Amino acid sequence: MSARLEDKGDRLIVWNGNTAKRGALSPELYDCILQAAEQARDRRIRAVILTSEGPFFCAGGDLNVLIERRTLSEPERRDRIDGLHDIIRAMRSSPVPFIAAIEGGAAGAGLSIALACDLIVASEEARFTAAYVKAGLVPDGGLTSAMSRMIPRPLAMEMCLMGRPVNAHRFADMGAVNRICKPGKAMEEAMTLADTLAQGPRDAQTAIRGLVADAYEATEAEQLDAERDAMAAASGSEEAAEGIAAFLEKRKPDYR
């Protein structure tokens, strides 16, 4: 099985099982991510975790598949790429955060998928590579957009123009990785993050996620209006009533 979706009650886990090909992309992985994004609309779901069954998160596109695309017309090749882009769009529009639990590393479109997540946990041995140029290709999956937002331009250029790998510690130092862990512990750390999210106010988290995502393209005036509207809605919610009461009463809030 090259991918599977596991339901753990308040979270979903997408397992990339294509271990023979270092977690290369597969139609089954696409389907599982799309299913997870759709099922995340259920209010009991608080997070989606993406991880691998094997020692490498995702090596990106299968070159044996990519080489066959030369025989396709350019419109057909665009359609294939849109399959990946549909995944990125689904992740971005999800009401709950996506967490990447990365062992080994992420390369090519695997890096695109990792950086589309809201939170990233990586083994201290993980390496991140925009490997496209080494195969005469260019980034897709929103990678140039994500990298331009998350890391300095000179490093993004070095990674994309030369295919140079960057280790997890350097990515973390720039704020592109949330947690560094010992090898084999990425999933455990991701589950801890999911636990924390599950204890928080779901509607407020969804609103915050949208505000942060939109802030990159909004003007300051537009963002002020968006924050005003979100805050006006939140301050009249049951979540706010519970959160404020808990703070004043010096107890933990219960958002269930």
CB of 49 within 8 A of CB of 23? no
Separation of first and last alpha carbons in the chain:
35
Mean pLDDT across 18-26: 95
Residue pair 181/124 in contact (Cβ under 8 Å)? The answer is yes
DSSP codes, 237-249: SHHHHHHHHHHHT
How far apart are alpha carbons 182 and 77 in whole angstroms? Answer: 40
Number of C-beta neighbours around residue 90 at 10 A:
19
Q: What pLDDT does 101 receive?
A: 99
Q: Would the pLDDT of 6 be above 80?
A: yes
Model confidence band, residue 46 (pLDDT cutoffs 50, 70, 90) = very high
Distance of CA 56 to the CA centre of its chain: 16
Would you state the pLDDT for residue 69? 86
- How many angstroms separate the CA atoms of 35 and 14, rounded? 9
The model's confidence at residue 64, banded by pLDDT at 50, 70 and 90, is: confident
Sheet holding 179-181, edge to edge: 3-7, 11-16, 47-52, 98-102, 119-123, 179-181
What whole-number percentage of the chain has pLDDT above 90? 94
- Residues 10-14 have a mean pLDDT of 98
pLDDT of residue 256 exceeding 90, the answer is no
Provide the token pair at 106: 């992420």
* pLDDT at res. 154: 96
Instruction: Calculate what percentage of the chain has a pLDDT beyond 70.
Output: 100
Confidence grade of residue 67 (pLDDT, cut at 50, 70, 90): confident
The answer, yes or no, to whether residue 68 has pLDDT greater than 90, is no
**How crowded is residue 256: how many other Cβ atoms within 10 Å of its Cβ?**
9
Mean pLDDT of 80-99: 97
Domain 3-198 CATH (choose: 1.20.120.530, 3.40.50.360, 3.90.226.10, 1.10.760.10)? 3.90.226.10
Question: Rounded to two decimals, what is the model's pTM?
Answer: 0.95
pLDDT tens string 143-193: 999 999 999 999 999 999 999 999 999 999 999 999 999 999 999 999 999
Kindly give the pairing relationship between strand 47-52 and strand 98-102: parallel
Q: Is the pLDDT of residue 1 over 80?
A: no
- Going from the C-alpha of 208 to that of each of 4, 93, 128, the distances in angstroms are 29, 13, 27
Domain boundaries, the chain: 3-198, 202-248
Helices (H), 40-121: 63-66, 74-92, 109-115
Mean residue pLDDT across the chain? 96
Q: If pLDDT is split at 50, 70 and 90, which confidence band does 63 have?
A: confident
What six digits make up the tokens of 123? 């083994």
Query: Is residue 112 within 8 Å of 141, Cβ to Cβ?
Result: yes
The pLDDT, as a whole number, for residue 26 is 95
